[in-house]
């Protein structure tokens, strides 16, 4: 049961509907902005954490032209007459 303070307060509780429209419009704008950032900077948080002090992830091996590939060449790619 409400006391006299709560009863007095409940007389003012009907909020004009335009306030809801304005607040929720702002909420939608923030939400859309958050999603746009996520699309253009996927894993933004992880990237920031790495920049601040984390270790860089291991990079895949990249071979330049004419690199010595002996250890990496699978058997089926060895040219005829050069192996065995």
Binding residues for other proteins, per CB under 8 A?
Answer: 3-16, 19-20, 22-24, 26-28, 30-31, 34-35
Measured distance CA(30)–CA(41) in Å, rounded:
16
- SS3 at position 32: helix
Do 37 and 44 form a contact (C-beta atoms < 8 A)? yes
The nearer residue to other proteins, 13 or 70, going by C-beta atoms, is: 13
The nearer residue to other proteins, 9 or 43, going by C-beta atoms, is: 9
Question: At closest approach, how far in Å is the CB of 84 from other proteins?
Answer: 59
Question: At closest approach, how far in Å is the CB of 31 from other proteins?
Answer: 4
**What are the structure tokens assigned to 17, written together?**
């509907």
Question: At closest approach, how far in Å is the CB of 32 from other proteins?
Answer: 9
Neighbours of 50 (CB within 10 A): 13
């Amino acid at each position: 049961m409400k006391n006299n303070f709560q009863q007095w307060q409940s007389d003012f509780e009907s909020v004009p509907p335009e306030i809801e429209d304005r607040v929720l419009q702002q909420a939608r704008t923030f939400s859309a902005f958050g999603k746009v950032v996520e699309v253009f900077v996927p894993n933004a948080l992880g990237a920031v954490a790495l920049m601040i002090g984390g270790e860089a992830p291991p990079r895949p091996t990249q071979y330049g032209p004419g690199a010595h590939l002996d250890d990496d060449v699978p058997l089926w790619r060895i040219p005829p007459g050069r192996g065995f």
